[in-house]
Structure 1
Amino acid sequence: MLKRKFGDRSDWQRVLIREYAQSFIASENFDGYVTLIKIVKVSDPLYVEYNGEKICIGDDGYLWLQQFPSNRNHSVTTMFDSNGNIVQWYIDICLQNGISDNNVPWMDDLFLDLIVLPSGAIINKDVDELETALTDGIIDKNQ
């Protein structure tokens, strides 16, 4: 089963207080929804580890700016620390992007993710999940 992820991250229980905004942009350079979550207060900071380096991607004062481009098969989340520095770009490869009945953008995650760090390092994430989904018939070769 594909995971549907919503731009407001309303199911994110670690975030105790948040501010949320979204907008639709139709321009020559971008067509789609953009969402912004300001993480005001978390129960615990969120850390990830890449190649032995521990990085905080969610804490008080962090911002998550997510792009849901129309008619594309990806979504990009730019994560900023409390000083406005980019922590990482997280690119979800997805089946499609859409908008819910209550006007919140979503994407259907196709398991494979790319992480780009400010250093320029690129990390392929969840390749094994993608292969398992294909083997188990959750997705097909076209997807």
Structure 2
Amino acid sequence: MLKRKYGSRYDWKRIVKRGYAEKYISTPQFTGYITLLEMNDVAEPLYKTYKGREVCIADKGYSWLQHFPDGKHFSVTTVFDSAGQIVQWYVDVCRENGYCSTNGPWMDDWFLDLILLPGGEIIEKDIDELEAALNSQDISEDEFALAWAEFDRIKTMVAEDNFELLELSKVHFDDISAINS
């Protein structure tokens, strides 16, 4: 079953006190919604382990900037630490991005993910979940093929230093942070 994920993370209990902003942008470099979730207080930090190294991705003072590009099959979440430094980019391959008036921008997750670390490491995630979705007929063979094509396309763009959202994330973070100031 596909998971619908909202940029507001309205149902995330870990965040005790939050700030939130969303904005629609239409430029030659990016068209779609961006959201900013500020973690002003958290019940407990969240750590992930990548190749034996623990990385904090949610804590007091952290922010998640999420891009929901129009007409694309991916969404990018950029994690910023309390000093405004990028911790990671998390690319979700998805069926579609959309907007709901009550909870804001969303994406229907196709399970297949890329984690990009500032040092250049690329981590592939949840390949088994995509295959399980195909086997349980939660997605069609066409959707399976499209998810893999999008995954490979993004991986190639990252390898060729041609995935513009990585560069735009800091610009958009500064832009949307001004809304909450």
TM-score range, shorter chain: over 0.9
* Structure-to-structure mapping, 1:93-112, within 5 angstroms: 93-102=93-102, 104-112=104-112
The residue that corresponds to 2:152 in the other structure is: none
* 2:6 paired with 1:36: no
User: Residue by residue, what CA displacement relative to the aligned partner does 1:61-112 show, whole Å, maximum 9, x if unpaired?
Assistant: 0010000000000000000100111100000000000001326000000000
State the Cα distance separating 1:131 from its structure 2 match. 0.7
The alpha-carbon distance between structure 1 residues 103 and 10, as it changes in their structure 2 partners (threshold 3 A), is: closer
Amino acid at match of 1:82: S
Kindly tell me the number of residue pairs found equivalent between the two proteins.
143
* 2:129 paired with 1:129: yes
Distance in 1 between residues matched to 2:55 and 2:69, nearest whole Å: 27
* 2:26 paired with 1:26: yes
Distance in 1 between residues matched to 2:101 and 2:134, nearest whole Å: 30
- Between the aligned residues of both structures, percent identity stands at 54
Distance in 2 between residues matched to 1:103 and 1:70, nearest whole Å: 17
Distance in 2 between residues matched to 1:46 and 1:39, nearest whole Å: 12
Question: Which protein is richer in strand relative to its size?
Answer: 1
Give structure 1 stretches of 5+ with no counterpart.
Answer: none
Give structure 2 stretches of 5+ with no counterpart.
Answer: 144-181
Say whether the 8 Å CA contact 2:8–2:103 is kept in structure 1.
Answer: no
* 2:153 paired with 1:142: no
Distance in 2 between residues matched to 1:57 and 1:107, nearest whole Å: 20
RMSD of aligned C-alpha atoms?
0.8
Distance in 1 between residues matched to 2:29 and 2:118, nearest whole Å: 23
The residue that corresponds to 2:169 in the other structure is: none
Distance in 2 between residues matched to 1:101 and 1:88, nearest whole Å: 29
Q: Which runs of 4+ in 1 moved over 3 A?
A: none
State the Cα distance separating 1:29 from its structure 2 match. 1.0
SS at match of 1:142: helix
Question: Which protein is richer in helix relative to its size?
Answer: 2
SS at match of 1:60: coil
